[in-house]
Structure 1
Amino acid sequence: MNVRKIISVLEETTAEGGRPVNPAARVAFVAAVIENPWAGQGFVEDLGPGIDATASDLGALIAPRVVELLGAPVEAYGKAAIVGLNGEIEHASALIHTLKFGDHYRKATSASTLLPAVEKRGPAGVTFDVPLKHFTDATIRSHHQTFEVRVADAPHPDEILIGLAAAAQGRPQQRLAALSTEQ
């Protein structure tokens, strides 16, 4: 795995809807920009060897960093994979939609639900939204949120940006009724 850069972003929302948020709502994002393991190979039928060589190391690299950056227990989480213009969306998906990658994050957060994800192809600087859901119960509405990200110089055409997002709480000032009230 060839890592060009690691990006870390921490957002703290201290007011929402004209009211203070106390404590501040924290969302962290950590991503690695890596060389696409299938770059320059044309159509690759079996992505398995690239997954085996990359996914677990990638999860081990960024999962502890996002938890540490958040600095609080993770309550909501999500993932992102943005492939450069010379790659396939399947290349991005192959690295994040495997237990070899995701289990590092689930173990670091004691999570039990599937990680919501965004994957897309785009040029350097493309904007993308990372979906987040509650880490143990995806039906908890207060934790359904997105985190917008843009990395000015990534991904290059033969790169993939792989990221994890974590929130220490649900949406600031959330006030929707529980899903169970509609069932």
Structure 2
Amino acid sequence: MPDIRLRKTVLSREDIFHEGGPAADTPHLRGSILAIIENPFAGRYAEDLQPFMEDLKPLGLEMARKLADALGGPAAIQGYGKGAIVGEAGESEHGALWHVPGGYAMRELLGDAKAIVPSTKKVGGAGARLDVPVTHINASYVRSHFDAIEVGCNDAPRANELALALVMTTGPRIHDRMGGLAAEDITGEDGLR
């Protein structure tokens, strides 16, 4: 498989104190990291894509570390998600290459995370935006952590590139009051409840 050709990364962090309600003493943190890489499959059909997933694993782990560190370290992370924007010379299946290296990188870094890492992908041109879903790291039914983080880059992905995204949060939405399973009441070992 070809080497990863990284053009750039984009790291973003939000510190949210309120959304019209009472201001929190400690802000809710949300962040994203994008890696803009060359798509080695752009412009052609390739039957076997899976070996490239193995090549992407070190990049996924490096991205997960940088993002978690920007949000206070792995112990602070309570929500996560992943996504990919495929440049116009690629296909959505090229974005699916990110499922294993992106998801498992975060789960490895965070230790005992049990919930599946939600994801999304699409084909788009430079400047395309993507809403990446977020759920609690240990139980997908924790409503307080249902969220989405918009990611994108003004000059990416170019036609022959992939924009690979990871997103993380440090807690529930700032004014969560929708009820349901609370994070402190998680009992399941399967990532659901």
Q: TM-score, normalised by structure 1?
A: 0.90
Give runs of aligned pairs for residues 25-36 of structure 1, distance below 5 A.
Answer: 25-36=28-39
Q: Tell whether the 8 Å contact from 1:38 to 1:50 is kept in structure 2 after alignment.
A: no
Task: Report the RMSD for the aligned CA atoms in angstroms.
Answer: 1.5
How far did 1:50 drift?
2.4
Q: Percent identity?
A: 34
Deviations, residues 126-156 of structure 1 (Å, cap 9, x unaligned): 1111110000011000000011122101111
1:157 aligns with 2:178: no
2:80 corresponds to which of 52, 77, 81: 77
Q: Tell whether the 8 Å contact from 1:77 to 1:135 is kept in structure 2 after alignment.
A: yes
State the SS of the aligned residue for 1:67.
helix
State the SS of the aligned residue for 1:8.
strand
Give runs of aligned pairs for residues 1-150 of structure 1, distance below 5 A.
Answer: 1-40=4-43, 42-52=44-54, 54-72=55-73, 73-94=76-97, 96-98=98-100, 100-110=101-111, 111-150=113-152
Q: TM-score, normalised by structure 2?
A: 0.86
- Structure 2 distance, partners of 1:148, 1:104, is 20
- Structure 1 distance, partners of 2:21, 2:57, is 43
Instruction: Tell me the amino acid that sits aligned with residue 173 of structure 1.
Output: H
Deviations, residues 19-39 of structure 1 (Å, cap 9, x unaligned): 212311100111110000212
Q: Tell whether the 8 Å contact from 1:21 to 1:173 is kept in structure 2 after alignment.
A: no
State the SS of the aligned residue for 1:87.
coil
Deviations, residues 61-118 of structure 1 (Å, cap 9, x unaligned): 2111111111151000000111001100100112x222x4422210111211110011
By percentage of residues, which structure has more strand? 1
How far did 1:179 drift?
4.7
- Structure 2 distance, partners of 1:49, 1:78, is 23
State the SS of the aligned residue for 2:24.
strand
Unaligned runs of 5+ in 2: 183-193
